[in-house]
Structure 1
Amino acid sequence: MNFIRIVKFDFKNIIRNPMLLFFNTIFPLILIGSIGFVMKNGYGSFNVTSYDYYGVTMMIFTAFIICITASNTFMEKSVKKGNTRIVYAPVSKAEIYLSKIISTYILGSIFYSIIIVLGKYVLNINYGTRSTIYIIILINMLTLFGCCLGVLFCCIFKSEEGANSVLQIVIMLFIFFGGVFFPVYSLGKIVESISNLSPLKWITECIFRIIYDNDFSIYLPTIGVMLVSSIICIVICQIIFKPEEYV
């Protein structure tokens, strides 16, 4: 069984899971529509509507929580049972966890790109006049980091349950300090300073700068942060993952 076949196998497992498919396709649109509608009276200044704001932040939220999908792809009980034979196949241990990262990333990058395009041209969400492709790239880089982080936590805790229980705390902290649901500057300078440690803050600020100021000054540094963070996760996976513990 070569690496490409393993990736295809993992990708099919995700597609066959209706809950995972729902959370990575329909769920983001529901979030944008529902929260945008509820908060519509709180926006409107500077030509920024609630749909514009949450059309960005909910995509960031969705792209990051793909780490839950990645952990499910790696060690969910029914999937893990079917994947056990891969451990005994003539493949390197890197191919086992990398296939989970790549298959989940392919799913997320395809569907999130489609959702952004639909949001722009169907829901009239402001993703900038000519900057949509740059936003898609940023969301895809965050998706890659989320996939790597989810697989890393599986390697650390050796079970989906353990990984997800800790991931939920990490997600909550990153989202809070990243200003995904509301700007954190209103909570004081200390919280605002701590928020700089959240990669979601970098993504959020970068996207809004691009859309409303045509400012790309932190675009490449943000991509660099996401890429380096993803590589660090992969390196740690390579060090600590033991295929025999996957059985």
Structure 2
Amino acid sequence: PSNKSVHDEYIQERSLHSKRKPGAMDYYAVAMTTMIALYSALPGSSLLRGERTRKTADRLLAAPVRKSEIFIGKLTGNVAANFLCVAVVMLFSQWVFHADWGHHVSLVWLLMLTEVVLAISFGLGMSYMARTEGAARTIAMVIIQLSSFFGGAYFPIDETAWYAHLSPLSWMNDTIFKIVYANDLSSVVPTMLLNIGIAALFLMIAVVSMARREGL
């Protein structure tokens, strides 16, 4: 055999631009999961304000723990509970509907975790910025719906549109699709840092507001 035929046996060509694209089920598995993660803002909006509404804040403050410990405990527990819900949705889509989550699932898990932290921090910050619990939930719901609409949760959005990257779902979905279908990990760290940075801003608002209050 010629040298060319021998070389053809072990030389593999691979395109730099993957031709793989998500099917309908694959697309909405990602879009719905990131949207559900964003809905974590609703329980976040009543995380501490709910204690005041139910008249249980005084009991918490009477306990031999500091306000910072109450804050961290409530925040950690809420993040864990909401991340578990997101994990169930993601696993269900993978096992039942056979949605493709790629070969870097651990990175997708980390991305989802940072989005849950972002959503809960946003809701928590809103609970201190709004005057009532109802107002905080309303503001959170409106922003969730707008983010879902412009982030491609209901139908694909043109990535070149000016509003395409205003929603946290836009940069989350874009990063996940790059991981799954292009094996491109370049956006993972920037997206995580963006989520954590925005979360830190709202947590700062909540911490400063709580420090100025006598109670929670």
The corresponding residue for 1:124 is 98
Q: Give the structure with the higher percent helix.
A: 1
Residue pairs, 1:52-131, within 5 angstroms: 52-76=26-50, 80-128=54-102, 130-131=103-104
Match 2:108 to one of 112, 135, 148: 135
The corresponding residue for 1:150 is 123
Deviations 1:41-88 (A, max 9, x none): xxxx96633221111000001000111022233333797323331134
Provide the C-alpha distance between the structure 2 equivalents of 1:52 and 1:112, rounded to a whole number of angstroms: 16
Query: Offset at 1:90?
Result: 4.7
SS at match of 1:168: helix
Provide the C-alpha distance between the structure 2 equivalents of 1:106 and 1:228, rounded to a whole number of angstroms: 19
The corresponding residue for 1:232 is 201
Gaps of 5+ in 2: 1-18
Higher relative contact order (CA 8 A, sep 6+): 2
2:151 matches 1:178? yes
Query: Offset at 1:152?
Result: 0.9
Letter in 1 for 2:92: L
Provide the C-alpha distance between the structure 2 equivalents of 1:77 and 1:97, rounded to a whole number of angstroms: 12
Query: Offset at 1:245?
Result: 5.8
Q: Which has more radius of gyration?
A: 2
8 A Cα contact 1:178 1:184, kept in partner:
yes
TM-score (norm 2): 0.80
Letter in 2 for 1:134: L
Gaps of 5+ in 1: 1-44
8 A Cα contact 2:178 2:185, kept in partner:
yes
Match 1:198 to one of 153, 164, 167: 167
Provide the C-alpha distance between the structure 1 equivalents of 2:66 and 2:118, rounded to a whole number of angstroms: 22
Matched residue count: 197
Deviations 1:180-218 (A, max 9, x none): 2222218xx5xx223323222110100011111111111
Residue range with higher mean Cα deviation, 91-100 or 224-233: 91-100
Q: Aligned-residue CA RMSD in angstroms?
A: 2.4
The corresponding residue for 2:9 is none
8 A Cα contact 1:127 1:211, kept in partner:
yes
SS at match of 1:76: helix
47 and 177 in structure 1: CA distance in 2 versus 1, 3 angstrom threshold: closer
Identical residues among aligned pairs (%)? 23
Provide the C-alpha distance between the structure 2 equivalents of 1:165 and 1:111, rounded to a whole number of angstroms: 22
Provide the C-alpha distance between the structure 1 equivalents of 2:124 and 2:79, rounded to a whole number of angstroms: 11
Query: Offset at 1:234?
Result: 1.2
The corresponding residue for 1:166 is 139
8 A Cα contact 2:61 2:215, kept in partner:
no
Provide the C-alpha distance between the structure 2 equivalents of 1:110 and 1:126, rounded to a whole number of angstroms: 20
8 A Cα contact 1:87 1:244, kept in partner:
no
